[in-house]
Structure 1
Amino acid sequence: MKKTVALLTATALTAVAAPAFAQDNTATFTGPRAEAIVGYDMARAGSSVDDDANQDNDQSIDGIMYGAALGYDVDLGGVVVGAEAELTNSSANTKFDAGDFEGFGFGNVKAGRDLYLGARLGVKAAPDVLLYAKGGYTNAKFDVRSNDGTTEFNQDIDTDGFRVGAGAEYALNRNTFVKMEYRYSNYSEAEIDFNGDIADTDRFDVDLDRHQVVASVGYRF
């Protein structure tokens, strides 16, 4: 009798625990997350200011971008919605090739920090695969470098724009995930941030395009 009761109790506990465990495993896209990001970064003069007639000047800079992001997602079943914030930097800068200067439309510049705040919407292609689109606000700095032969000048162009993108996220387990993502940014307004006591300039129009292909690895809490 005791053996029968013990067997029935174990069976009941297993029956209760199994759905709970399965539910925990399938809730792979809910909650706060943190991730590290690295990828390819390319910025260039936009279509309104490009100079395609001059083949020696491609007006682009490229390099490696790197940084981190925080986000929060809500799994609604087949659909996942979330918000995210990101801080990155980049090695992209203008180069001299065989004496020819790639002007980028602003002169000698180096990409600086990039802030992003936005949202994403995804659908689960599989229990552990999320396909998503994203969009939001981005603010990026570009360090303008110049030299008059005596003094070196460094001012930041502070740019505002929007970002859209799409990607795929794969849940390795309940907490760990990897992502691949493409995103496009366009910056349409800017100001020059002077160092020291000089006031920043008024905002002015710019046209900068940015393309990035990035990979991420993250942890969901």
Structure 2
Amino acid sequence: MTKFSFFVPAVALGLAAATPAVAQDNGFQGARAEALIGFDHVSIKDFGMSGLGLGGLVGYDWQDGNIVYGFEGEVDGNTTRKTSVDQDERRAIKANLDLSAGARVGYVLSPKALVYGKAGYTVARFRSDWRDEESKGYARLVTTGFRVGAGVEYKLSDAAFVKGEVRLSHYGKDGDLEQGLWREQALAGVGIRF
């Protein structure tokens, strides 16, 4: 097991312990802030690279009976990269910053559990560096696309919660991305609702 296996539960327990006893339960409604960590995989045609995704998210939800709906914005970084050496040339490709904004709709299964789906717009940056005996250089790519996902949110207290989420992003067919570029993620999160 890696050290990250213990990160989310430890933070979740800390947030639950720090939550004031006088906090009022407003269901799944209100502003929220989250920290995210998990698996990140980027692929195009037969090329793929994987790494660790890390991010932060803020959003706001409304609740009407068992239906919850809201919007959110997210900023993610990652360790996703791939390096190759072909004869005398070395090439490194790295996924950089990923920004997204979107909406989600969920259904309350119990006073503590919410299932939801989400969709939105995403912007991602990538960088490619190369070096050989005679030259070196780099190229940057900024591309946009759409993101869909689904997840489960579970309340630890009136304010603190944890969640698990899977999502798929597709970035345009512009420039060299004739087949489009795909990103798959499986993330765990911990957050506070205000």
Please give the TM-score of this superposition, normalised by the length of structure 2.
0.80
Cα distance in structure 1, aligned partners of 2:177 and 2:80: 23
- Residue 155 of structure 1 deviates from its aligned partner by 2.4
Q: SS of 1:174's equivalent? A: coil
Residue 137 in 1 paired to residue 135 in 2? no
Aligned ranges for residues 54-93 of structure 1 at < 5 Å? 59-93=47-81
Q: Which one-letter code corresponds to 2:32 in the other structure?
A: R
The structure whose Rg is larger is 1
Q: What CA deviation, in whole Å up to 9, does each residue of 1:106-128 have, x standing for no partner?
A: x6310000000000000001111
More strand by share: 2
Q: SS of 2:180's equivalent? A: strand
Identity %: 38
Structural RMSD (CA): 2.0
Cα distance in structure 2, aligned partners of 1:160 and 1:189: 9
- Residue 174 of structure 1 deviates from its aligned partner by 1.0
Cα distance in structure 1, aligned partners of 2:143 and 2:33: 26
2:14 — aligned with what?
A: none
Give structure 2 stretches of 5+ with no counterpart. Answer: 1-23
Q: Which runs of 4+ in 1 moved over 6 A?
A: none
1:215 — aligned with what?
A: 188
Cα distance in structure 1, aligned partners of 2:96 and 2:58: 20
Cα distance in structure 1, aligned partners of 2:191 and 2:86: 41
Cα distance in structure 1, aligned partners of 2:167 and 2:42: 12
1:40 — aligned with what?
A: 39
- Residue 151 of structure 1 deviates from its aligned partner by 4.5
- Residue 205 of structure 1 deviates from its aligned partner by 4.8
Q: 1:206 to 1:158 in 2, by over 3 A?
A: farther
Which of these residues, 109, 132, 145, is aligned with residue 125 of structure 1?
109
Give structure 1 stretches of 5+ with no counterpart. Answer: 1-23, 52-58, 102-106, 192-202
Cα distance in structure 2, aligned partners of 1:171 and 1:77: 17
- Residue 159 of structure 1 deviates from its aligned partner by 0.8
- Residue 41 of structure 1 deviates from its aligned partner by 0.2
Cα distance in structure 2, aligned partners of 1:128 and 1:188: 38
